[in-house]
Structures are given as C-alpha cells and as structure tokens.
Amino acid sequence: MRNILLVAGALTLGGTALNAAPTQITWWHGMGGANEQVINQVAQKFNESQSACAITPVSKGTYEEALASGIAAFRSKEQPNILQVFDAGAATIINAKGATIPAEDILSQNGHKLDRDAFINGVRYFYADADGKFIGMPFNSSAPIMYVNEEAMQKAGVEPPKTWQDFEKIAPKLKEAGYIGMTASQLTWMFFENFFSRNNIQMASNNNGYDSFQGTTLNATNPELVAFFQKLKDWHDKGYFGYYGAGWNDNQKPFEEGKVALWIGSSGSFGGLSQTATMPFSADFLPYDADAKDGNKSSFIGGASLFAMSGHPAEQNKCTADFFNFLTSTDIQKFYHEQTGYVAITTAAYEAAKADGWYEKHPQAEVGIKQLMLPQGEWSKGYRLGFYPQIRVVEEREFNKIFSGETTVEDAFKAIETEGNDLLARFAKTSG
C-alpha cells in the first residue's frame, strides 16, 4: 500500500513537472518585413501573458506560399496548429472540411465564448459559413480605399470624389493641372470584387458561393460592371486613368512621386505611404457607382484570417483556442491595428483607438474601418469561390489586355466569365 502511494505520488509529481513546460504550438503565416516583426511581438505578448502555452510564429513567405506550405504539410501530417490563409484562398481551406476545426468550435470546446456581434460588419461574414459560424478567425483585415494627393486637389480646385460620376467630372480639371487623375493597384480586389460589394450587386450564384460549390457561376458580365470598365478604358485613353500592369508598386509609385491625384490602394498601405509619399495626402472611401440602385455599401475585406488545423492533441488545441481568444482582446487588437495599419476588427478596439486619440493624429487610419462599418448590403458580406486565386489570374490577364488595347471590355468580361465558370466547375469536382 505504501509503495502504491509512493508511485502515485511520483506520478503526480511527474505530471506537474510536465505541466510546467509550456505546450508548444506553431503558427505559419505569410508576412514579411515590418509586419512579420509585429506578428513576433504579438506572439511574444501571448507567451508572456501566461505560462501554459508557447506559440512560435514561422514566416512561410507570401500568402500563396503559406497556403501551399500548409497544404503540403497537411498531406504529410506535419501541419502547424495555426495557418494564416488570405482572402482569395479562403474557399480552398473552408471546403476541405476536416482539415480545420471551425474557430467558433475550438473556442467553445475550450471554454471561450465568441461574440459574433463584437466584430465590425465587413469582417463578420467573410470567413464564416452560410449560417454565420466563424470558420476562420479574422486576423489582419484591410479595405480598399482612395488616397488623395492634397496638392493636386488644391491646384485643380476640386474635392475628392465620392462616386465614379464625381471622378468623371473632376478628371479633366486634374489633367489640366498636370496630373494623371487616378491609378489603382490590384484591380481584381479594387475594381472587380469590390465593385460588387460597394454597389451591392451579386457576384456569383448560390448566394455568392456560400450555399454550395456545385453549379456556382460567376456574374462577371454584369452590365453595371462592364459599363464601369468601359468608363475606365475611356478614362485611360483620355489620360485620366493610368494603368501600369498587374504589379502593385508600379501603380503606387507614380502617386508617391506626386504625379497622380488619386490612388486606390489598401488601408494597410498607409504606413508605407507615409514614408514614401513626396506630398501631403489624405484618404477617403473607395468611390461607388451613383447609378447603382443600392450603392455605397461596405466593402469586402482583404487580408487574411487564421485557421486552426485539425489533427493535434487536445492540449495543443486548447492553446490554439487560448491564443485566438487572446487575439480578439481589445488591447491586442488596438496594438496590432496601430502598429500595422490593418483595421481594428472589433468595435471595442476601434472605440479604444478612438478614445486614445489615434485617429486625430492619423485620420487616414480610420477610413478603412469606417468603410467596413458602412451599412452592409445583401451582396457585400463576402464571396466563397473555389480556385479563386486562379480566377484572379484570368482577371489580371484580361484587364491587361483591355488597357493595352488587345481586347474589348465586353470580350474581356466574357472570357473571365467563361474561364471562371470552368474553374468553378473544376473546383466542384474536387470535393466529389
């Protein structure tokens, strides 16, 4: 009996000793440079806040590389606990049921509560399923916004446009004052996806793809969208709109150099732009189409969210849940928002940053959140389309052809719709 007690005692002691070493979890992401530093700081803050878990962030390169690494790792059963997946890749991972544990489930299984209403509008549905359950944990989110060259506005004596119709009116004056009216980076996100969200137009059948992957078709030949690109092409020919290819920086650079009056970029571009812009600039909402029946709605978010990968022991899943819970805390959200320029994803963090006077010093940092908090239309919640990264490649190709004069706007959008639908049909077969 005494021996048994001793053994039991030793076991208990051993158990405590094991518990003292924190459970290790890994987090693969696709951020580099300054943003990677901030991720490391967030991880460090989590590790210092408690002793049961230790998280290690690993940069896998770009968003695409992070997703590809995560997939390869999952297939060889070496997956990380947490994988960051970008907006366009969301359907790929959400479709693979069994690869992930829905964020809401892992939180509730481990004694945390996720309050959907704490998140701002634009963020709430994008990584959720059709019933609104969070599959991915929203993390770094951004909005496409318009940056304004203040000098150009003064010289031309005009106000920043609210709608595309406004832009058409001021563009000749900007040109007279010696400026290219507008450039835009990543037209796929700015002018394709977000044309649907800002103007509340359906992007794809099956409830923008949320209801099912089977038989989903793209709505690329929508007349309003085609008309808008016809305007863009017309503005390009008249010298109101500059287009320098699909590369992000090629379109940002002329704005930094003060040659362009307006640039459509990401709310996350603000930090970099403050250092590189050669003139004072402000920011405003992405313009919408005044002719749309129900326009000026919130935009789709860009950026990425975090997914809890399945196939890990319960104590590691607990740590993942603890970390997700930690991420939504107001302090961390406010810290991340202020350090990176990504929007605050909870209302509380937004209010805290506001109370702090952050937006008085950096009014541009508020534009993205305000745009995401605009009333949400039926079609501005998000989209769930398979092989969407490849559909974006088709869009990019056709947009280049439009502005180099190799194709007409109608033909370009017909090609996007046809090839896009082929890709969607292929994707539907993957889950077969």
Residues in the site for other proteins, rule: CB under 8 A?
A: 62, 64-65, 67-68, 71, 74-75, 89, 92-93, 95-99, 243-248, 250, 253-254, 257, 387, 389-390, 393, 396-401, 403-404, 406, 419, 422, 426, 429-432
Phi-psi region of 28 (alpha: psi -120 to 50; beta: other; left: phi over 0): beta
Identity of the residue, 74 or 134, whose beta carbon is nearer to other proteins in the bound complex? 74
Task: Report the nearest approach of other proteins to the CB of residue 276 (Å).
Answer: 13
What type of residue sits at position 22?
P
Identity of the residue, 42 or 180, whose beta carbon is nearer to other proteins in the bound complex? 180
Task: Report the nearest approach of other proteins to the CB of residue 211 (Å).
Answer: 19
> Which residues, 6+ apart, have CB-to-CB distance to 425 below 8 Å?
none
Task: Report the nearest approach of other proteins to the CB of residue 249 (Å).
Answer: 8
Judged by DSSP in three states, 250 sits in helix
Q: Give the N- to C-terminal CA distance of the chain in Å, as an integer.
A: 60
Identity of the residue, 168 or 250, whose beta carbon is nearer to other proteins in the bound complex? 250
Identity of the residue, 358 or 403, whose beta carbon is nearer to other proteins in the bound complex? 403
Identity of the residue, 237 or 406, whose beta carbon is nearer to other proteins in the bound complex? 406
Identity of the residue, 187 or 365, whose beta carbon is nearer to other proteins in the bound complex? 187
How far is the C-alpha of 253 from the C-alpha of 248, rounded, in Å? Answer: 9
CA atoms within 13 A on the CB side of 432: 7
Task: Report the nearest approach of other proteins to the CB of residue 45 (Å).
Answer: 31
Task: Report the nearest approach of other proteins to the CB of residue 55 (Å).
Answer: 23
What is the number of residues in the chain? Answer: 432
Identity of the residue, 71 or 226, whose beta carbon is nearer to other proteins in the bound complex? 71
Q: What is the dihedral of CA 294, 295, 298, 299, to 10 degrees?
A: 120
* Residue 80 vs residues 46, 55, 57, 104: alpha-carbon distances, Å: 17, 11, 10, 19
**Of 46, 91, 107, the residue nearest 213 (C-alpha):** 91
Phi-psi region of 186 (alpha: psi -120 to 50; beta: other; left: phi over 0): left
Task: Report the nearest approach of other proteins to the CB of residue 26 (Å).
Answer: 18
Task: Report the nearest approach of other proteins to the CB of residue 395 (Å).
Answer: 9
Task: Report the nearest approach of other proteins to the CB of residue 414 (Å).
Answer: 13
Task: Report the nearest approach of other proteins to the CB of residue 392 (Å).
Answer: 9
How far is the C-alpha of 142 from the C-alpha of 259, rounded, in Å? Answer: 25
Neighbours of 98 (CB within 10 A): 8
Identity of the residue, 61 or 172, whose beta carbon is nearer to other proteins in the bound complex? 61
Identity of the residue, 64 or 168, whose beta carbon is nearer to other proteins in the bound complex? 64
Instruction: Order the strands of the 241-242 sheet from edge to edge.
Output: 241-242, 180-184, 260-266, 144-149, 281-285
**Of 352, 359, 343, the residue nearest 269 (C-alpha):** 343
